[in-house]
Structure 1
Amino acid sequence: MLSLRGLLTSLLLQVFIGTAWADAELPQPQGPVLLKVSGSISQTNHGDEAHFDYAMLMAMGMHEIVTHTPWTEGLVRFEGPSGRNLLEAVDAHGSQLMVQALDGYVAEVPVSDFYQHDVILALKKNGERLRVRDRGPIIVVYPFDQKPELLTEQIRFRSVWQVASIHVWGMVVSVPTKNEKQH
């Protein structure tokens, strides 16, 4: 059961999400910090980093991927915010992500993966909140069943579990629009 403070925080976060955090100040986490985002970001709430607790991540909107994975048995339903929503919330300006797990494992993930493949940051597995012993609190999940071409060793290594932090870096390469002259 949510406390009154937790309920109010959740409602306020949903309002912030509804108006896009990029246009408002990123709120402070009220609970334990699950995720730290750093690097080439414009929206912060803790020095030059953005810290997120469970309620903040949930308030970004839950997305679902039902899929088999190389590390689970059977069909699994994962739920969590989209990677795209996280990057937009922190106003990310990079082409690469360094995703680090609690145990120090680091994977380099192109920002484009979050957009092209609708990657989520799973907080729940089959309706249950992920715990550290269940590879939580956050797992980077790709839609393997919907896109079988993602079942590669490279993508498997990008599917980080026990995510603790994400560092945004790299140059953003803009693609000319049809109306811009090519030189």
Structure 2
Amino acid sequence: MTNLRQLLVLTVFIPLISSPAALADDLPTPGDRVILTVSGKLGVTNTEEGTAAFDLAMLDALPQASFETATIWTDGVARFSGVELSALLEAVAAEGTELLMTALNDYAIELPASEAIPGGPILATRVDGNPLSVRDKGPIWLIYPFDDNPSYKTEVTYSRSIWQLKSIKVED
């Protein structure tokens, strides 16, 4: 009877533990300076204001991606690394269709959430292994793998490659 009871407990609770709703409690509080705030239609937050605040260590703790690409802003090919936009949106259980992204200088862009796909844009925090400073378009630069996908080489995509990113608002 004990084994049956254990099996029943596992059958009921394991799906709950591994569900996105259960992961909602797993977003820690930043231990350092907040460099990105995500707000709007979120299922996971970590502030009293109902936003998700991230320091660099928290972004680094999310699944990382990297690619090499040339850009219109850099000399030659560089290696960009950081969290994929799709992984960040998954971590906060974003449910909107539009992303309003704002930079430190208040430059803002709207990006369809459908662009946040695996293998798509990343929130780069490093170039060639070096952390991005504000002077070097950091601490976060939304960058596309231009060389991997020539369809990204458009004026629209270039305008969406926002640097010094400070906030994302998830909207409908």
> TM-score range, shorter-chain basis?
0.7 to 0.9
Q: Return the offset for 1:20.
A: 7.6
Give yes or no for contact 1:22–1:88 (8 Å, CA) kept in 2: no
Identity, % of aligned positions: 43
Q: Return the offset for 1:23.
A: 2.4
Q: Return the offset for 1:70.
A: 1.2
Q: Which residue of 2 aligns with 1:130?
A: 132
Segments of 5+ residues of structure 1 without an aligned counterpart are 1-18, 171-183
RMSD of equivalent CA atoms: 1.4
Give yes or no for contact 2:38–2:51 (8 Å, CA) kept in 1: yes
The 1-side partners of 2:127 and 2:19 are apart by 27
Q: Return the offset for 1:77.
A: 0.3
Q: Return the offset for 1:94.
A: 0.5
Q: Which residue of 1 aligns with 2:99?
A: 97
Aligned residue identity for 2:116:
F
Aligned residue identity for 1:43:
V
| Helix, strand or coil at the partner of 1:115 | coil
Give yes or no for contact 2:138–2:165 (8 Å, CA) kept in 1: yes
Q: Return the offset for 1:22.
A: 4.8
The 2-side partners of 1:98 and 1:156 are apart by 16
Instruction: Report the TM-score when normalising by structure 1.
Output: 0.80
Q: Which residue of 1 aligns with 2:82?
A: 80
Instruction: Report the TM-score when normalising by structure 2.
Output: 0.85
Structure 1 runs of 4+ off > 4 angstroms?
19-22
Segments of 5+ residues of structure 2 without an aligned counterpart are 1-17
Summarize the Cα distance change of 1:136–1:126 in structure 2 as closer, same or farther, 3 Å threshold. same
Q: Which residue of 2 aligns with 1:35?
A: 36
Q: Which residue of 1 aligns with 2:45?
A: 44
Q: Deviations over 1:149-174 (max 9, x none)?
A: 1111100110000000000001xxxx
Count matched residues.
Answer: 152
Give yes or no for contact 2:86–2:118 (8 Å, CA) kept in 1: no
